[in-house]
Amino acid sequence: MEQYNDEIQLKDILIKLSEYKTYLLKKKFTIVLISFFCLVLGIVIGICTETKYNAELTFVVEGEKKGSSLGAMSGLASQFGFDIGGGSSATFSQNNTLELLKSRGVVEVTLMQHAKIDGKEDLLIEHYLEINKIKDAWKENEDLTPVSFNGSLTYENDSVSGDVWRSIIKDKLVVELHSDEANIINLSYTSVNEGFAKEFVEALIEQMSKMYIVHQTAQANNTLDFLQNRADSVFGELEIAELEFAKVKDINQRIVKASGRLKELQLMRRVEVLNTMYLEIVKNLELSKITLLNQTPIINIIDKPILPLQVEKKSKTVLGLLGVFLGGFLSLIFFVFRKLFKDALSE
């Protein structure tokens, strides 16, 4: 009895499938028409989509050096109370660099750099406003006041630059590790203008390098300035003391008593002290100069973007085939559910 019921159920299913097949064949022209419409729509989308260019730059961030050739020099200088720098800072660590490259300060400073794009020399932010047709929108809307960055900057410039920064980091600027095993960082930017994409990426990494150099050598520069000023001051005092000593010595040529030569002895001692001080300061000054010269940039560029850049545009063929597939699939689903609904109502 159970076997008989199973045969009836299987027969009902086959009958239903046959009914749906016949129903869908009747709608085949409609399904083909919808698929063709989706095909045309996909091709039109592919044609209307703007061509975008991706500029990619790879670099590494050097970690803290455990050893240094300047270690002995730094230790020698510390004996005299001087810190000539040379230690690494955590501010520009690898993880911090990923975030700093997207920070408003770095991006805005980069946008204020000059670059020649499409034969025109201007600020990068001015190129951005023109390339992305923001200036055209200002002209069409009378309520909006055009803003120029070539001149004195106002709060309006700050507002516009903030909007540009948010637009850049939202989906156009990507900073990520090349892999978990390597310390290589990929920096990429996508734009409708390949010249702007290339110039922006290179200017951005250049600003980061400058920030590193200023930050990393700040202590060494301060020490160098202090030692230079101190050396000049001591040298001036030494010249004065030597001149006074020479004069007193000339006066005391015929004096035999020690009491009469007391001034000469005092000046001689002062000259010796100042001379010793000057030699030690000059020694540490030279060490500080060597340290400053050996401050290497933390950002080492591996690959720069080279024209022509990689094009990011969806193929018209792919979009057309995708449209045909979606159109056919969705229309089939629609007619199947439509028949199901009708059959349910008829019962």
Closest to 177 measured CA to CA, from 62, 90, 98? 98
Percent of the chain at pLDDT exceeding 90? 12
Instruction: State yes or no: pLDDT of 69 exceeds 60.
Output: no
Whole-prediction pTM value? 0.62
The three-state secondary structure class of 181 is coil
Q: Give the pLDDT confidence score for residue 20 in this predicted structure.
A: 74
Above 50 in pLDDT, residue 72?
Answer: no
Going from N- to C-terminal start, the domains of the chain cover: 2-48+315-346, 52-74+84-215+298-312, 221-293
Tokens 């975008």 correspond to what residue? Answer: 52
Structure token digits, residue 141:
């809307």
Q: Taking 70 as the threshold, does the pLDDT of residue 122 lie above it?
A: yes
Residues 58 and 304 sit within 8 Å (Cβ to Cβ): no
User: What per-residue confidence (pLDDT) applies to 299?
Assistant: 76
For residue 200, pLDDT over 50 is answered with yes
| SS3 state at 164 | helix
Task: With beta carbons less than 8 A apart as the criterion, state whether 98 and 176 touch.
Answer: yes
> Is residue 64 over pLDDT 60?
no
> Are the C-beta atoms of residues 172 and 189 closer than 8 Å to each other?
yes
Residue 321 pLDDT greater than 90, yes or no:
no
Whether the per-residue pLDDT at 128 is higher than 50: the answer is yes
Mean pLDDT of 324-331: 82
Neighbours of 165 (CB within 10 A): 21
Comparing 48 with 237, which gets the higher pLDDT? 237
For 217, other C-beta atoms within 10 Å of its C-beta total: 17
Per-residue pLDDT reduced to its tens digit, 254-292:
665 666 678 878 888 888 998 989 899 888 888 878 777
Token pair belonging to 152: 């004195």
Token pair recorded at residue 41: 């729509």
**Range from 67-71, 204-208, 323-327 that averages highest in pLDDT:** 204-208
* Beta strand residue intervals within 34-159, DSSP E: 52-61, 114-117, 120-123
State the burial class of residue 108 (Cβ atoms within 10 Å of its Cβ: 0-12, 13-18, 19+).
Answer: middle
Ranked by mean pLDDT, the top range of 68-82, 105-119, 139-153, 321-335 is 105-119
